Amino acid sequence: MKYNQFKAMVITIASLPLGFSITYGAEQTSPNGKIRVHADVINGVPTYSIDFKGQEIIKPSTLGFELADGPDMMNGFKLMDVKTSSFDETWQPVWGENSNIRNHYNELHLCMDQPEHYRKMDLRFRIYNDGVGFRYEFPNNGVMTYFIIKEEKTQFAMTGDHKAWWIAGDYDTQEYDYTESRLSEIRDLMASSIYPNASQEQFSPTGVQTSLQLKTDDGVYLNLHEAALVDYSCMHLNLDDTSMVFTSWLTPDAQGNKGHHQTPCKSPWRTIMITDNACDILASNLILNLNEPCKYEDTSWIKPIKYVGVWWEMIGGGKPWDYTSDLPSVRLDSPDYSNAKPHGNHPANNENVKKYIDFAAEHGFDQVLVEGWNVGWEDWFGHSKDFVFDFVTPYPDFDIEMLNDYAHSKGVRLMMHHETSGSVRNYERHMAKAYDLMDKYGYNAVKSGYVGNMIPRGEHHYGQWLVNHYLYAVTEAAKHHIMVNAHEAVRPTGLCRTYPNLVGNESARGTEYEAFAGNKPSHTTVLPFTRLQGGPMDYTPGIFEMDMSKVDPNNNGHVNSTLARQLALYVTMYSPIQMAADVPEVYNKYMDAFQFIKDVPVDWDESKYLAAEPGKYIVAARREKGGKDWYVGCTSGEDGYEASLSLDFLEPGKNYMATIYEDAKDAHYLTNPQAYSISTKKVNSKTKLNMKAAPGGGYAISIKQL
């Protein structure tokens, strides 16, 4: 890294024309000059504000901490030094939307003393062309060596009653549908935004989660999130809906504290994306850039994955993960299934898994996920059961050696599944042996899960204890060259740059809810603005049968999407790990549409967002890694989306063959979701296509260079 440190420019504005007086200690702009951060200590209180194109976009907002073990760090500060610098480099991710990412920012670094308590605190701002990241830094000055956060009090003062796409602040789940409303409407809409979950705890009628997407009446898109959440409690935002000021609200531990810290240390970055084009939010690399470079020397073992799995027939089909109904309570210290009569409805059995392996091999998938392969599922949930799984003992009808051998003989791997049931002491105790087992049988990826309340009891999914655990699981996996796709873990914050074997997370309402209560048709037009800012989501798209009663007569659910849109999601929801989530029997009925899933890559050289509006539509185009072919996806909300699609991203002068998978004229996510048409067309960079997505629909296009 090359830093150009140059002398601080301290500007003091004694009096502003508008009649009020603010003294700004320092300021810094984005490289293109459009974003300007002002930061100072005003009457002892650290304060910042942000302008965008000369207009205030974040009003003066105070910064600080309430401590549980000493005087607060809210005031009494003195600005001691201001440093500025610039940085510009281009780096290459192991996998991603683009093979080159530019990290270009100007930095503003404030050094503060709190003389009464002999403490020091720094603020570091990095200003990008598409937003700002800032964090607190706590040097070790020999006096403040340890501290306990009672609350972080970072304000984000809005300039108005913006529109927001939000989910309820919750210490234990992120699996809510997004609500679109004005900030002032959050309070009234809060109760209706909450859907039951296996573990959940809200904290405020105006508390929301990040990444929070906002839009001002002037058409400025704001996005609030955090980057590089490491050994720190995950941040929510609590809105004062009179002043429209958000204040950070951390996740508490079992004792109600919000973080134990040791200097020298730093907070995660608090991020504010600011653009006047929605596509720029989607294209932003701000959060990845604020994370540390990759910590692994060898990353050759990290590979994007397209997979199928023994999963949807449980989630949507009502089949169980367990093996028997004879064991109401399984003691994992002496699991004895020898006398347990199988109920005969256990999908993770040799025959069924072989069927998926055959299907994966035939259609070019890398892996087959198998859930319910290991003993303990009979009583895994809702009992605060400590020793709930051992992660190494297969059910009697799952021959782990035979199945892996069979898969490998066909060029396919099995994907491991580790459901922890939230019991993380148990998981950590068994982790080494669990990873050893994976090594032994040739697994190189694990889908892990954290369903239900946590053990240690009283801890929350998004508290410091668990944040620490999730990363521990990833770094321990790396020692075994294992990739991790963690469900129900804390929402990602760009750590996949630093630890690229974290290939996926769920951390939001995924496709599984289509089998339960449905997702809003607009859901996939919001997720890329919010959840995906921090990293890829294992959304598990590819559902072709929308009428759940055809999967399970007892399931009256409906998948709120057209079939064509399910294809588009492989492009619009970027992830290096993509599932084709439906069952082989369904795919076999729609092999022409399934071809797109077979074709679409899971790693890219180049990505372009062509059109986007949260809640309405997203159109993305991506060029495959190391190739010349492009793939386009469009997902739309309740209103559908019709527009001309310019293919000007194609290489000029070259010809391509486009295969277009689109909603049929009369398609509709509710009434006619499986109506699609497939056509082919020669195209080039001058081609414009008139494309139409049905309500809750979309389209997918593969464009192969001729």
Chain residues that interact with a second copy, rule: CB under 8 A: 140, 142, 145-146, 148, 253-255, 257, 260, 262-264, 328-329, 331, 379, 383-386, 425, 428-429, 432, 456-459, 465, 468, 472
- Residues with catalytic roles: 512
- Bond into 644 cis (ω within 30): no
d(CA 154, CA 235): 10
Say which amino acid occupies 108: L
Helix (H) or strand (E) holding 224: strand 221-227
Q: Are 447 and 212 contacting, i.e. CB atoms less than 8 angstroms apart? A: no
Of 100, 101, 110, 84, residue with least CA distance to 3? 84
d(CA 532, CA 294): 19
Crossing angle (nearest 10°) for helices 464-479 and 424-441: 20
Q: Are 107 and 8 contacting, i.e. CB atoms less than 8 angstroms apart? A: no
Q: Are 590 and 651 contacting, i.e. CB atoms less than 8 angstroms apart? A: no
| N-terminal to C-terminal alpha carbon distance within the chain | 41
> Cα–Cα distances in Å, from 623 out to 153, 532, 659?
43, 19, 15
With a CB cutoff of 8 Å and minimum separation 6, the contacts of 405 are none
DSSP string computed for 90-155: EE--SSSS-S-EEEEEEEEEEEEEEGGGTEEEEEEEEEETTEEEEEEEE---SS--EEEEEEE--E
Give the HSE-up count for residue 119: Cα atoms under 13 Å, Cβ half-sphere. Answer: 24
Of 105, 101, 132, 113, residue with least CA distance to 38? 132
User: At its nearest, how many Å lie between a second copy and the CB of residue 334?
Assistant: 10
* Two structure tokens written together for 104: 């270009």
DSSP one-letter code for 672: B
Characterize 229-256 residue by residue with b for buried, 16 or more Cβ atoms within 10 angstroms of its Cβ, and e for exposed: bbbbbbbbbbbebeebbbbbbbbbbeee
User: At its nearest, how many Å lie between a second copy and the CB of residue 112?
Assistant: 19
